[in-house]
Amino acid sequence: MSSPERKSLLKHHTKLQRYYNSLESRLGYRLFLGGTRHFGLYENENAWPWPIGTALRRMEDHLFDSLALPEESEVLDAGCGHGYVAANLAARGLRVEGIDIVDRHVVRARQTVRGRGLEGRVRVRKGDYHDLSVFETGRFEGIYTMETLVHAAEPEKVLAEFYRTLRPGGRLALYEYDHIAVETLPEEDRLSMQAINDLSAMPANQRFSRGVLDGMLAEAGFVDVVVRDLSKRTQPLLWLFFVVGYIPYLVIKALGLQKRFVNTMAGVEAYRSAVKGVYRYTVVTARKPDYLVNRAVQHALLAQWK
């Protein structure tokens, strides 16, 4: 990696550390999600949001089913947070390598693993999914992100590393957001989205218009790319964020404190955007081909076929 690229990535890492270490992030994730860093999955859009823990586990079960891997498969949790997802997948028979770039997350994830008695099934280390050189080619049978690819500074590079470290036939499951094209939004909504993505260190989220991520996956060499929309089944939690955050949101805007309370702003505006169909919560699954063909040869064969 060249020096300018490294400096840019280090700057991004600093912003990401700052976001997750902020008092608002630490309190918000703890009070609402028990330290977990992902949405809950509900039976339908009109479901009561409580108990939140049940919805969180349902989302993790959905991930397990999306990976569809046999017991003892090795998987990579790319952005493991406090380790709850990794621990629950390990409890169901998988072996998990968890990486995270945020120091606080690595410490807490190791505590989670020890507390669940899963040291033999989950290993956690500090790591950046832009560079997975600590893992050999073809190491994993599965890789997943749970609302962490949105933080990527260079998602194409991340997907290339996922492709390399997956075994032929290995499965990928990405639980992420997408949205309608930014340029089609009213100026106020467009500027708000840009500000939230910047303050939350989510540059990839700014780029993930509908169709972009699946296109990136195809370009990286993945096959069987499928996008499923889970928006309605995550809406009860978004509604709760909106209800709890709306009055503080108005006060924050009036006082010009948006930079200090980005999660409050995002919670209210994300619900509004979801209702209007601007944002979606999706799971994108894909597979590394069983038989690998040189990309140049593959393109030549396709051209000849046409």
- Pick the closest to residue 189 from 177, 212, 206, 167 (CA basis): 206
pLDDT of the residue at 303: 53
Per-residue pLDDT reduced to its tens digit, 84-119:
999 999 999 999 999 999 999 999 999 999 999 999
pLDDT of the residue at 12: 87
In contact, 109 and 81? CB cutoff 8 Å = yes
Confidence label for 3 from pLDDT (cuts 50, 70 and 90) = low
* Residue 35 half-sphere exposure toward CB, CA atoms < 13 A: 14
CA distance 208 to 155: 10
User: Which CATH architecture fits 3-183+203-235+279-305?
Assistant: 3-Layer(aba) Sandwich (3.40)
Instruction: Give residue 262's identity as a one-letter amino acid code.
Output: V
Per-residue pLDDT reduced to its tens digit, 127-156:
999 999 999 999 999 999 999 999 999 999
* Strand-by-strand arrangement of the 122-126 sheet: 122-126, 95-100, 74-78, 140-146, 166-179, 279-287, 223-229
Q: Above 90 in pLDDT, residue 67?
A: yes
In contact, 290 and 166? CB cutoff 8 Å = no
Provide the mean pLDDT of the chain: 93
Per-residue pLDDT reduced to its tens digit, 172-222:
999 999 999 999 999 989 999 999 999 999 999 999 999 999 999 999 999
Q: Above 90 in pLDDT, residue 2?
A: no
In contact, 281 and 241? CB cutoff 8 Å = no
CA distance 95 to 121: 5
Per-residue pLDDT reduced to its tens digit, 221-231:
999 999 999 99
Please give the biggest Cα pair distance in the chain: 63
* This prediction's pTM: 0.92
Helices (H), the chain: 3-21, 23-33, 52-67, 84-91, 103-115, 155-165, 187-199, 203-207, 212-220, 231-255, 262-275, 295-305
